[in-house]
Amino acid sequence: MRRKLVAGNWKMNGSRASLVELDDIAAAAVRLPQVDVGIALPATLIALAAERVPALPIGAEDVHTNDQGAHTGEISASMMRDAGARFTIVGHSERRADQHEHDLQVKQKAEAAHRQGLGVILCVGETLAERDAGRAEQVVTGQVAESLPDGAASDWLSIAYEPVWAIGTGRTPTTANVAAMHGAVRAELRRKIGADAEQMRVLYGGSVTAANAAELLSAGDVDGALVGGASLTAEKFIPIVEAGAAIDRAISG
């Protein structure tokens, strides 16, 4: 059975004072060992967080495609690792939309992160217009195929399916919709990497809350969650981790 992974993404939020939230999250991660937990933070907070809660995996929200060079304002994977990051998100829909990132860039960022020993959560997802046009599965599996890094393997890479229209809106697809899309992603992974696709975690992201976490995490082929707004406070994030742990206990008997 694949272990659940619940990862938070603070996006462009947080300050030094906000890091107090990580204390309870780190304690919950120890208390609930059935679930892997990590928090991706703005680059300004990574070193501080890694020092404050060394047992909790701290991640970056993005990395550059190159290891170093004349790229003013950018941050490389080696710099993120040096600051204390243990994983990174790449290809988040907000970067695909706002920074016009395309699949090749996402692939190159994942490869850059892996070169530096970082774990990777690679995001894919469709817009509402694409879903309404009946192209959701085609779009998402196409992103998987084109964004998947060379040497992709389950011991360092996870895929996060995040329907763009559900992020931060409070709207979520039905459990059946989620299970169907995760199944399609898994099938594409089988086509691309073979048997190891069965071990690769496919997370769901898109307005995950304490209220809907148990239902979403119980859906077929859902191996965890990428959590946005609810990860900003321990009060809202820990119940999502607890939901994942409860499902593991139920399955394990």
Q: Mean pLDDT of successive 10-residue segments in the chain (253 residues)?
A: 95 98 98 97 98 98 98 98 98 96 98 98 95 95 98 98 87 90 98 98 95 94 97 98 93 77
Please name the residues in contact with 45: beta carbons below 8 A apart, sequence gap of 6 or more.
10, 14, 15, 16, 18, 19
What pLDDT does 172 receive? Answer: 76
Q: Looking at residue 250, what is its pLDDT?
A: 86
Q: List the catalytic residues.
A: 92, 162
How many residues are listed for the chain in this entry?
Answer: 253
Q: Is the dihedral of CA 42, 207, 238, 252 positive or negative?
A: negative
pLDDT at 169: 79
Q: Which two tokens stand for residue 179?
A: 């299970």
How high is the pLDDT of residue 166? 86
E strand intervals along 16-106 = 35-41, 58-60, 87-90
Domains of the chain: 4-252 (3.20.20.70)
